[in-house]
A and B are shown apart, each in its own frame.
Chain A
Amino acid sequence: MGKEIIEHGFTWNRRRFLSAMSLGVGSVALGSLLMPDLFKSGGIEDEAFTPGIPHFAPKAKRVIYLFQNGAPSQQELFDYKPKLREMNGQEIPPSVRGNQRLTGMTANQASFPLVGSFVDFKQYGNSRAWVSDLMPYTAKVVDDLCIVRSMYTEAINHDPALTFLQTGSQQGNRPSMGSWLSYGLGNENKNLPAFTVLLSRGIGNGQGVYSKLWSNGFLDSVHQGVQFSKGEDPVLYLKDPDGMSRKDRREMLDNLSELNELSYKEFGDPEIATRIRQYEMAYRMQTAVPEVMDLSKEPDDIVKLYGPDCLVPGTFAANCLLARKLSENGVRFVQLYHQGWDQHGNLPFEIAKQAKDVDQASAALVTDLKQRGLLDETLVIWGGEFGRTSYTQGKLTADNYGRDHHPRCFSIWMAGGGIKSGIVYGETDELGYNIARDPVHVHDFQATVLNQLGLDHEKLIFKHLGRRYRLTDVSGKVIKDLIA
Chain B
Amino acid sequence: MKNKLRILAEQVLVALNILIVFLLIFTGKLAVPFWLQPIGRMHPLILHFPIVLLMLAVAMDIYRAANRNINSSTLYNNFSGFLLLSGALLTGITVIMGLFLSREEGYEGDTLSWHKWTGASVFFLASLIYFIRNKAWYKTPATWISAGLVALTLMATGHYGAVLTHGEDFIMQPVYANIQKPSVPVEQAIVYEHIVHPILEKKCTSCHNPNKLKGELALTDSMALAKGGKTGKLFVPGNPDISLLLERVHLPLEEKKHMPPDGKPQLTKEEIMLLTLWIREDAKFSQKLIDLPEDDSLRIVATAVLKPETNEEKYDFSPADEKTVAKLNNDYRTIAPVAKGSPALDVSIYNRDVYSTKQLDELGEIKKQVVSVNLNKLPVKDADLKSVSQFENLRRLDLNFTDVTEKGLDALTFLKHLHTLTLSGTKLSFNGLKEKVATLKNLKTLYVWNTGLTPGEIAQLKKDYKGISFIEGFKDDGKDTLKLNPPQVKNSEMVFASTTPVQLFHPVRGVEIRFTLDGTEPDSIHSPVFDNTTVIDKRTTVKAKAFKNGWYSSDVITFDFLRNSFVPDSAVLLKPLNSVHLAEGAKTFFNKKLGAIGANNPAWANFWAGVRNNDMDLVALFYKPITISSFGLHYMLEETTGIYPPELVEIWGGENESKLKLLATIKPPLPEKGGKPSLETLETLFKPQIVSHLKIIVKPHVEKERRFLVLVDEMFLN
Residues of chain A at the chain B interface (Cβ within 8 Å): 50, 52-58, 125-127, 143, 186-191, 201, 206, 208, 284, 287-288, 299-301, 303-305, 307-309, 311-312, 328-330, 339, 364, 367-368, 370-373, 376, 420-423, 438, 454, 481, 484
Contacts and interface: CB of A to CB of B under 8 A. Distances in A.
B350 A57 contact: no
A16 B321 CA distance: 54
B350 A189 contact: yes
B339 A53 contact: yes
A371 B450 contact: yes
Contact of A126 (B295, B339, B600): B295
Contact of A308 (B273, B336, B344, B507): B507
B350 A126 contact: no
Contacts of B340: 50, 53-56
30 contacts: A55-B340, A57-B311, A57-B339, A187-B334, A188-B348, A189-B334, A189-B348, A190-B334, A191-B351, A284-B331, A287-B351, A287-B353, A301-B475, A304-B480, A305-B474, A308-B508, A308-B551, A311-B507, A312-B488, A312-B507, A328-B377, A330-B348, A330-B350, A367-B474, A368-B473, A370-B471, A371-B449, A372-B400, A373-B447, A373-B471
Contacts of A364: 474
A357 to B, nearest CB: 11
Given A304-B476, A367-B473, A190 B300 contact: no
A281 to B, nearest CB: 9
B296 interface: yes
A436 to B, nearest CB: 11
B348 to A, nearest CB: 6
Contact of B334 (A50, A58, A330): A330
Contacts of B296: 126
Given A190-B332, A308-B484, A371-B473, A53 B337 contact: yes
Contacts of B483: 308
Contacts of A422: 297, 300-301
A201 B474 contact: no
Nearest to B276: A128
B294 to A, nearest CB: 11
A181 B281 CA distance: 41
B485 A309 contact: yes
Contact of B424 (A186, A300, A371, A481): A371
Contacts of B313: 57
B91 interface: no
B296 to A, nearest CB: 6
Most chain A beta carbons < 10 A, residue from B344, B400, B508: B508
A76 B279 CA distance: 30
Contacts of B377: 328
Interface string B490-508: 0000000000000000011
A328 B376 contact: yes
A368 B474 CA distance: 8
B509 interface: yes
Contacts of A367: 473-474
A284 B420 CA distance: 31
Contacts of B578: none
B304 to A, nearest CB: 6
B338 interface: yes
B450 A301 contact: yes
A190 B398 CA distance: 19
Tell me the dominant secondary structure on chain B's binding face: loop
A339 B304 CA distance: 37
Given A53-B337, A372-B422, A373-B398, A312 B473 contact: no
Contact of B471 (A303, A371, A438): A371
Contacts of B541: none
A55 B201 CA distance: 36
B353 to A, nearest CB: 8
A301 B476 contact: yes
B269 interface: yes
A58 B311 CA distance: 9
Contacts of B445: 373
Interface in B326-368: 331-332, 334, 336-340, 342, 344, 348, 350-351, 353
Q: Which one of B351, B450, B483 has the highest number of Cβ atoms from chain A below 10 Å of its Cβ? A: B351
Given A190-B331, A308-B485, A454-B339, A371 B472 contact: yes
B508 A303 contact: yes
A315 to B, nearest CB: 9
A307 to B, nearest CB: 6
B105 interface: no
A308 B304 contact: no
A370 B508 CA distance: 24
Nearest to A52: B336
Interface string B460-488: 00000000000111111000101111001
Interface in B353-395: 353, 376-377
B270 interface: yes
A127 B297 contact: yes
Given A56-B340, A206-B600, A371-B447, 19 more contacts: A52-B336, A54-B338, A56-B311, A56-B312, A58-B338, A188-B348, A189-B334, A208-B600, A288-B350, A301-B450, A308-B507, A308-B508, A328-B376, A330-B334, A368-B473, A371-B424, A438-B269, A454-B339, A484-B304
A183 B447 CA distance: 32
A287 B300 CA distance: 42
Nearest to B277: A126
The 5 closest A-B pairs by CB, nearest first: A371-B473, A311-B507, A371-B449, A373-B422, A126-B297
A454 B346 CA distance: 14
Interface in B291-312: 295-298, 300-301, 304, 311-312
Given A52-B336, A186-B336, A481-B270, A339 B600 contact: yes
Contacts of A420: 301, 304
Contacts of B304: 420, 484
A196 B629 CA distance: 54
Interface string B417-434: 000101011000000000
Nearest to A484: B304
Contacts of B447: 371-373
Contacts of A303: 508-509
Contact of B339 (A55, A206, A481): A55
A301 B400 CA distance: 16
Contacts of B295: 126, 143
Contacts of B450: 299, 301, 371
A279 to B, nearest CB: 13
Nearest to A53: B340
